[in-house]
Structure 1
Amino acid sequence: MTGPLRIALLTYSTRPRGGVVHTLALAEALVALGASVDVWTLARGGDGGFFRPLDPRVVVRAVPFPDLPDEPVGARIVRSIAVLADAFTPHATQDHDRGYDVVHAQDCISANAVLNANARLRATGSGGSGGSGHLASCVRTIHHLDTFSTPQLAACHERAVVAPSAHVCVSAAVAAEVTRGWGIHPTVIPNGVDAARFTAAADDRAARSSWADTLGGPYVLAVGGIEPRKGTADLVEAMATVRAARPDLSLVIAGGDTLFDYRGYRDEVLASADRLGVTPRILGPVEHGSLPSLVAQATVFAFPSTKEGFGLAALEALAAGVPVVVRDLPVLREVLGPTVRYAATPTDVAAALLTAATHRDPALTIAGRALATRYTWAAAGRAHLDLYHRLTRTSTTA
């Protein structure tokens, strides 16, 4: 192998979900360290590119993925895998005299697509790649583990854990789950945090009251949309108690674009909110440049997720100096330590939100900002490059 490592990172969407945010930041960290990086993605519904601009050194390969009305989730997953697998070219092409040295999938859809693409190329005898003479093995980041009832999703999830040749987790807690469930020992590489972007938004006095004015007063903010994993139902129940004591505080929910269909859960949550007298402001995806100020101007940031891999959004809120209340999960204890308030039930969440909103703790603010700055994408990029070099050395000597 000559020249810099040639790396393919694959993700399932162009839109601002946690795994996509991770993929883009990692790609930029890797090119800053001298690697050559292509990011492959499904461009859903006519998307032309990612939700934010990228370092021009990162090559974006967006595969068109038209929406089909009323397509069931299982069929959408199968089609997603097939479309990305058909487009992905891990081997040498006319544009490149060698294939990818590393192929790194960030979710179960893209991992299955890589596995299918490799199988197709081996079957046709066209799998030669670069100087090593074979296809690059699939590396998989397991951000968190899910339990699915849809057969296609369950199969996608299982194969994407078992079949890749190397695994990364962004926290030791999730890595331990993988080891207990499958006997696999992933490499742990924490995420980075773009702390400066959120700290700057908190210090921007000119924009300090813009979101509160727009939203009608102080607010508790949650991101990730309305879905089971984000614990939205518990948050709505907690907010009924909060508003009884602090009627000035509203609930604002941002984000939430996903391949999955959570309409049933959303309907249940909104019906519960109506019964409880909670009227959430649902913003949907927020423009990338506007998100830091939305976070920075929140009275409290609520993060009652039932499953997480790292807690990046909570760290961004800490960087902005905002009090954070999270679900009491081992992974969040690992990553966030004593810088946030923990809660296990809706009653606990309500109490923690009220305490955070009413009694600001300067020591927690200082500790939270310091913690957020310790997680950097430069460090994450270096750790990934170290792993890639180990894997390529092993591959060429095998």
Structure 2
Amino acid sequence: MRIALLSYSTKPRGGVVHTLALAEALAELGEDVTVWTLGRGGDAGFFRPVDPRVRLSIVPFPDVPGESVGERILRSIAVLRAAFTPDAYDIVHAQDCISANAVDRCVRTIHHLDTFTTPELAACHERAIIRPYAHICVSASVAAEVRAGWGIEAAVIPNGVDHDRFATAAREPERGRYVLAVGGIEPRKGSLDLLEAYALLVRDEPGVRLVIAGGETLFDYRDYRTRWEKRAAELGVEPEVLGPVAHDELPALVASAAVFAFPSTKEGFGLAAMEALAAGVPVVTRDLPVLREVFGAVARFATTPAGFAHEFRAALAGADPAPGRSLSRRYTWTAAAKQHQTFYRSRVEPNAPGGCHLGRIHHPG
């Protein structure tokens, strides 16, 4: 199959990590895979090296000073649509709402559902659910949300995890004891709740630091970040905000953490938390149906800052890493890629415009 996987960025966000890993696993299985994305801010490549068997098509997308979020969304869609060549592929698979809006027909992975207030983004989100001809979710919980909200049946194909990359990472004791969160400071990541929880934690554990990594995003969270910084000052705490961390440096940062905090208010699977489990780090996460589904008895769950602080203390007291490592080892990108192959072939539409008979897959672009 000639497969195009579409993303919206070259930066290390969860959906982009998923896209690259899936593309490499499909190429390993012998598929002809091209990843299309926007090269934001002058990027000519992804945040990490990509297997040379995967073709890359990175569409230039220069920054425009003063551009609003809505304007950026619309320009992203238009630029990717103008560059993309749908007739070159048997399967077009969009991994986010921007890329799903940039093509006329596609398979769509819905990683998680959001509620947006920016009109352009809200419309983009809705179209990217109802227009694709086939849907995948990375958890049964999100698939149930899609069914309840839109009456759409989505296949469930969980993420894979690069288990060995995190399981073999060296712990670095000189980093000290810290609670780690990955994903930056933004509403969906529950950053304000995490801050409140940390302020409660350090009353009993004054030597434990809060470290926050990541934060590459398309959206403008400056107002939220300002609120977060103001609240940190009021609480008298000083978290370490690292910003984006180099791909090669992330495993050691994760493996050296005492606890991995995952207070997200919306998730589709929880890949970053699963990577922490692979590294042998205890995970404290928000009590969401999707995270109960994925992590079961392996993670600790909380709903309030006080609850998170309590679970952080319990995790700091020690935990057996074996169940978490065992769970993370179950999810492989090879298995995910094989399920995608089966899914693609099951969605043949031989009588659709541009389609073929004799079992060949139609051109869904």
Pick the TM interval, shorter chain.
over 0.9
Q: Does 1:331 align with 2:295?
A: no
Q: Does 1:265 align with 2:229?
A: no
Aligned to 2:207: 248
SS in 2 for 1:114: coil
Aligned to 2:279: 320
Aligned to 1:197: 165
Identity over aligned residues, as a percent? 64
Displacement after TM superposition at 1:277 (Å): 1.1
Aligned to 2:336: 380
Partners of 1:279 and 1:175 in 2: how far apart? 39
Partner deviation per Cα, 1:354-387 (whole Å, 9 max, x = no partner): 1111x2122xx11100000000000000000001
Residues 101 and 392, structure 1, Cα contact 8 Å, conserved in 2: no
Partners of 2:239 and 2:77 in 1: how far apart? 35
Displacement after TM superposition at 1:68 (Å): 1.1
Partner deviation per Cα, 1:109-130 (whole Å, 9 max, x = no partner): 0000012xxxxxxxxxxxxxxx
- CA pair 7-160 structure 1, distance change in 2 beyond 3 A: same
Q: Stretches of 4+ moved more than 4 A in 1?
A: none
Aligned to 2:245: 286
Aligned to 2:24: 28
SS in 2 for 1:274: helix
Q: Does 1:302 align with 2:261?
A: yes
Aligned to 1:129: none
Equivalent residues in 2 for 1:385-396, closer than 5 Å? 385-392=341-348, 394=350, 396=356
Aligned to 1:149: 117
Equivalent residues in 2 for 1:1-398, closer than 5 Å? 5-91=1-87, 99-115=88-104, 137-201=105-169, 204=170, 208-210=172-174, 212=175, 217-357=176-316, 359-362=317-320, 365-392=321-348, 394=350, 396-397=356-357
The count of residues paired between Structure 1 and Structure 2 equals 354
SS in 2 for 1:372: helix
Partner deviation per Cα, 1:187-234 (whole Å, 9 max, x = no partner): 100000001010100xx3xx6235x1xxxx311000000000000000
Partners of 1:256 and 1:190 in 2: how far apart? 24
Partners of 1:331 and 1:396 in 2: how far apart? 38
Residues 102 and 392, structure 1, Cα contact 8 Å, conserved in 2: no
Partners of 2:220 and 2:58 in 1: how far apart? 23
Partners of 1:113 and 1:176 in 2: how far apart? 26
Partner deviation per Cα, 1:33-88 (whole Å, 9 max, x = no partner): 01000000000001110000011010000000001122110000000000100000
SS in 1 for 2:86: coil
Partners of 1:48 and 1:209 in 2: how far apart? 36
SS in 1 for 2:101: helix
Residues 170 and 190, structure 1, Cα contact 8 Å, conserved in 2: yes
Partners of 1:180 and 1:306 in 2: how far apart? 19
Partners of 2:349 and 2:322 in 1: how far apart? 43
Partners of 1:269 and 1:111 in 2: how far apart? 32
Tell me the amino acid that sits aligned with residue 12 of structure 1.
Y
Tell me the amino acid that sits aligned with residue 194 of structure 2.
L
- CA pair 393-114 structure 1, distance change in 2 beyond 3 A: closer
Residues 230 and 304, structure 1, Cα contact 8 Å, conserved in 2: yes
Displacement after TM superposition at 1:393 (Å): 5.8
* Unaligned stretches of 5+ residues in structure 2: none
SS in 2 for 1:373: helix
Displacement after TM superposition at 1:389 (Å): 1.3
When structure 1 is superposed on structure 2, of 383-392 and 24-33 the one drifting more is 383-392
The higher radius of gyration belongs to 1
Displacement after TM superposition at 1:151 (Å): 0.6
* Unaligned stretches of 5+ residues in structure 1: 92-98, 116-136
Partners of 1:100 and 1:392 in 2: how far apart? 13
Partners of 2:178 and 2:236 in 1: how far apart? 16
Partners of 1:274 and 1:380 in 2: how far apart? 44
Tell me the amino acid that sits aligned with residue 231 of structure 2.
S
**So what's the TM-score if we normalise by structure 2?**
0.95
Partners of 1:144 and 1:164 in 2: how far apart? 16
